[in-house]
């Protein structure tokens, strides 16, 4: 009798193991299934969402963080005004693109929810989203280029140190050089 019970349990074990819970469980109730509420808010607010990491971690400061560190970096009033202009333009462009991405993600989600998705439409919307995401990332990366052009090499080294990036940058700035494109006469 015990042998039969053990054998029956052993036969059921593989089917129980196959019925694992998906990491997506609970996400089916999201407004846009592919995006968390944090993602949606980030896109609407024009947040960086780690899109400019290659710039940030290679001694190309971001305008918002440079402005946050204005006194520590010794920004001049002209530098602060230029950085604010860069930050404002980046935010406006990022918010506009973020809203467009959300609209497209919502359309893609709706296709599947309404069971009207077809290969051509899915392909078109997915490519559109990819292109917009690329443009959004470029907006953030170019703001870092603009910021590096406004700051002096010394200010960039200070920024890196204040942000905790000491010893990690491979560009010429931490060692005393300058980025390609220079930093003007600042």
| Tens of pLDDT, residues 138-172 | 999 999 999 999 999 999 999 999 999 986 444 44
Who contacts 67 (Cβ-Cβ below 8 Å, separation ≥6)? 75, 80, 83, 84, 87
Rounded to two decimals, what is the model's pTM?
A: 0.79
For residue 8, give the DSSP letter.
H
Q: Is residue 13 part of a domain?
A: no
**For residue 107, is pLDDT > 80?**
yes
Q: Is residue 167 part of a domain?
A: no
Q: Is residue 176 part of a domain?
A: no
Count of the separate structural domains present in the chain: 1
Predicted pLDDT at 14: 57
Q: Is residue 185 part of a domain?
A: no
Domain carrying residue 76: 35-162
Q: Is residue 77 part of a domain?
A: yes
Give the CA distances from residue 149 to residues 41, 84, 174, in Å, rounded to whole numbers and listed in that order.
30, 14, 15
Q: Is residue 30 part of a domain?
A: no
Q: Is residue 9 part of a domain?
A: no
């Amino acid at each position: 009798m015990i042998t039969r019970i053990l054998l029956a349990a052993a036969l059921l074990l593989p089917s129980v193991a196959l019925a694992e819970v998906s990491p997506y469980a609970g996400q089916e109730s999201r407004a846009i299934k592919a995006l968390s509420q944090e993602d949606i808010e980030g896109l609407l607010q024009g947040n960086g969402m780690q899109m400019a990491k290659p710039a940030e971690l290679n001694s190309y400061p971001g305008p918002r963080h440079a402005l946050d560190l204005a006194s520590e970096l010794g920004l001049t009033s002209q530098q602060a005004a230029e950085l604010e202009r860069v930050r404002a333009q980046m935010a406006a462009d990022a918010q506009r693109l973020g809203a467009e991405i959300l609209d497209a993600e919502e359309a893609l989600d709706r296709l599947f929810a309404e069971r009207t998705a077809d290969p051509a439409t899915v392909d078109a919307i997915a490519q559109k989203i990819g292109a917009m995401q690329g443009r959004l990332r470029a907006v953030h990366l170019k703001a870092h280029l603009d910021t590096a052009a406004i700051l002096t090499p010394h200010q960039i080294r200070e920024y890196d140190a204040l942000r905790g990036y000491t010893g990690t940058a491979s560009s010429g700035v931490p060692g005393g050089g300058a980025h390609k494109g220079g930093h003007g006469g600042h």
